[in-house]
């Protein structure tokens, strides 16, 4: 019974790490498909998205079964409850990568991005992949210090996001409204991807320490500020 229990706890943790890996890989390919108008990569992200949603359902089932059959306590209970919350964040990360790939596919063979903003998305993509890998690492190592540092990468993403708005608001913008709409959505998708990775880190800090970082209340507000303080 204990063995089965420990195996079940390990399976849940492994599935979450695997999901984070898939979401990060999806965003990496989606970014390449966006930057290079690579239809094959976009189709791969879209075709493989079901793997993430299936793992998401599997994680929820495993967490529920643990609560129902094993009634874990203390740190184990925090792990399972956090797991239920983390799976929702990783599921969204996968969905956001899917959104990016679908925009790349829709515009193919054209490039979605004007040359002028390519560099922003190359860097936002790099940060997204890095923060996704960090979220996976944090799920595996449960290192609260590393988890707390996810916020720094998120701040770099938010800075880029604000600069991107700057570029679009510039009177010199010559790429029209359709490109602006795509870029606005894409910028939002990358920013949210990083937000969800930070949230995974917060949940890991809770499951390790029993304390949810103060951001619990202010995360929402902070995100709103990140989003809405882009230069006029």
5 binds a copy of itself (CB under 8 A): no
Rounded Cα distance, 59 and 41, in Å: 27
**Is 43 within 8 Å of 121 (Cβ atoms)?**
no
Residue from 36, 47, 106, 209 in contact with a copy of itself (CB under 8 A): 106
211 binds a copy of itself (CB under 8 A): no
4 binds a copy of itself (CB under 8 A): no
**Is 110 within 8 Å of 37 (Cβ atoms)?**
yes
Rounded Cα distance, 119 and 4, in Å: 49
User: Which positions from 24 through 43 interact with a copy of itself, judged by CB under 8 A?
Assistant: none
- Sort 112 into a burial class: Cβ within 10 Å, 0-12 / 13-18 / 19+: buried
Q: Return the closest-CA partner of residue 132 out of 206, 199, 71, 41.
A: 199
Q: Could you tell me which stretch among 21-29, 36-44, 151-159, 212-220 binds a copy of itself (CB under 8 A)? A: 212-220
Nearer to a copy of itself, 104 or 130 (CB): 104
Rounded Cα distance, 97 and 114, in Å: 20
Nearer to a copy of itself, 39 or 212 (CB): 212
Site string for a copy of itself, 157-196 (x = CB under 8 A): --------x--xx---x--xxx-xx--xx--x--------
Q: What distances in angstroms separate CA 43 from CA 48, 97, 212, one per listed residue?
A: 8, 12, 38
Nearer to a copy of itself, 35 or 186 (CB): 186
Q: Return the closest-CA partner of residue 92 out of 44, 64, 128.
A: 128
User: Which positions from 64 through 103 interact with a copy of itself, judged by CB under 8 A?
Assistant: 64, 67-68, 71, 73, 77-78, 81, 84-85, 88, 91, 94-95, 98-99, 102-103
Dihedral sign for Cα 16, 84, 212, 131, please. positive
Chain positions contacting a copy of itself, by CB under 8 A:
49-50, 52-54, 56-57, 60, 63-64, 67-68, 71, 73, 77-78, 81, 84-85, 88, 91, 94-95, 98-99, 102-103, 106, 165, 168-169, 173, 176-178, 180-181, 184-185, 188, 212, 216-221, 223-224, 227-228, 232
């Amino acid at each position: 019974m204990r063995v089965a229990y420990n195996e079940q706890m390990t399976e849940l943790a492994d599935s979450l790490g695997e999901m984070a890996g898939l979401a990060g890989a999806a965003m990496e390919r989606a970014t390449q498909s966006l930057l290079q108008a690579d239809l094959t990569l976009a189709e791969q992200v879209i075709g493989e998205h079901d793997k993430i949603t299936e793992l998401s359902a599997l994680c929820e089932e495993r967490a529920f079964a643990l609560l129902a059959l094993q009634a874990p306590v203390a740190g184990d209970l925090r792990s399972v409850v956090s797991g239920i919350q983390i799976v929702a964040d990783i599921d969204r990360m996968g969905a956001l990568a899917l959104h990016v790939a679908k925009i790349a596919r829709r515009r193919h063979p054209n490039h979605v991005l004007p040359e002028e903003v390519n560099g922003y998305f190359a860097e936002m993509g790099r940060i997204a992949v890095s923060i996704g890998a960090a979220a996976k690492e944090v799920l595996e190592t449960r290192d609260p210090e590393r988890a707390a540092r996810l916020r720094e990468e998120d701040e770099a993403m938010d800075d880029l996001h604000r600069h991107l708005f700057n570029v679009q608001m510039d009177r010199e913008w010559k790429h029209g409204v359709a490109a602006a709409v795509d870029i606005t959505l894409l910028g939002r998708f990358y920013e949210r991807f990083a937000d969800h990775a930070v949230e995974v880190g917060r949940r890991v800090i809770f499951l390790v320490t029993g304390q949810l970082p103060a951001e619990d209340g202010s995360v929402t507000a902070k995100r709103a500020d990140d989003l809405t303080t882009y230069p006029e």
